[in-house]
Amino acid sequence: FGVRGEVRVRSFTDDPEAIFDYGPLLDAAGKVVLTPVRHRSLNDLFSVTTQEQHQREAWEAMRGTLLHAPRTALPETDEGEVYVADLIGARVVHVDGRELGVVKAVQNFGAGELIEVKPLAGATYLLPFTEEIFPEIDMVTRVLRAAPDDALLPEGLSASDPTHTDPNPG
């Protein structure tokens, strides 16, 4: 960007400038992409001078790359808060004991967070990430207890589905 070798970065943090408090920024695989040295505001973007020195073509090839802060750089969560990254891979268990799957991703299409659940078999499905549907989140055991209406569950996971077998018979 420009003649000074700066790159443009869009921040998605609550406080946009806070992105520069986390140190090196990583790609999805955890590889350092850029280490901010200086930054200046450009409306809804930042112009960033980086420690890494790449040719313009190399930076252009990285256009659209999502940058991530290292988990270790994030502050501890308050009571009742979790980081989205910590939910990935957690088990989702119905409050009645049915295994519903594991958290594959957390999506947000503008109307709030949705937990994308990968069941043991079949396609993924989405559940709204609300306290009503997820009344208990145990990050020590990495289990999300869920109480969704059966209409939100795919075939085979509904308690009223004839193909469903109760994991706790009797």
Which residue type, as a one-letter code, is found at position 166?
A: D
Which residue type, as a one-letter code, is found at position 62?
A: M
pLDDT band per the 50, 70, 90 thresholds, residue 1: low
pLDDT tens readout for residues 8-67: 999 888 889 999 998 899 988 889 999 999 999 988 899 999 999 888 888 888 888 889
Instruction: For residues 151-156, give the mean pLDDT.
Output: 88
Phi and psi, residue 21, nearest 5°? -85, -10
Q: Give CA separation, 21 vs 6, 27, 28, 68, 146, in Å.
A: 18, 17, 19, 12, 35
Q: Give CA separation, 55 vs 5, 35, 51, 120, 153, in Å.
A: 8, 16, 13, 46, 50
- The predicted pLDDT at position 97 comes to 94
Residues 6+ apart with CB under 8 A from 158: 150, 151, 164
Name the nearest CA neighbour of 103 among 141, 132, 142: 142
pTM assigned to the model: 0.67
- The predicted pLDDT at position 43 comes to 86
pLDDT tens readout for residues 82-127: 888 889 999 999 999 999 999 999 998 888 899 999 999 999 999 9
